[in-house]
């Protein structure tokens, strides 16, 4: 534990302190669902709230893969992709 002499060097956290302007990245990893829809995103995305992998095609979620499905079949994402895009 810091002694009183060391503690005087610490700054108190100020919730109202002004910060620099923060801009979220425009990369698809940081986009909201509505942004992905607007961008007509196609690809895999991990949905942290639902804990599923989502396959997006032209801005719409077409398929999902749960952790349980993946555990049963580690090739499930490749299979879903191949089925969706008729790649055999």
From first to last of its 88 residues, the chain has per-residue pLDDT tens of 555 556 666 667 676 767 677 788 888 888 899 999 999 999 999 999 999 999 999 999 999 999 999 999 999 999 999 999 998 7
**pLDDT value, residue 23:** 81
**pLDDT value, residue 30:** 85
List of E strands, the chain: 43-47, 52-57, 60-65
Alpha-carbon distance 64 to 59, whole Å?
14
Write down the residue that tokens 């749960």 correspond to: 66
Alpha-carbon distance 19 to 1, whole Å?
30
Task: Note the pTM of the prediction, 2 decimals.
Answer: 0.70
**pLDDT value, residue 55:** 97
């Amino acid at each position: 534990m810091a002694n009183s002499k060391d503690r005087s060097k610490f700054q108190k956290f100020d919730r109202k302190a002004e910060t620099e302007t923060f801009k979220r990245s425009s990369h698809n990893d940081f986009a909201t669902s509505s942004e992905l829809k607007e961008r007509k995103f196609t690809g895999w995305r991990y949905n942290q709230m639902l804990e599923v992998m989502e396959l997006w095609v032209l801005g719409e979620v077409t398929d999902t893969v749960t952790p349980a499905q993946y555990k049963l079949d580690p090739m499930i994402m490749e299979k879903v992709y191949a089925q969706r895009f008729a790649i055999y």
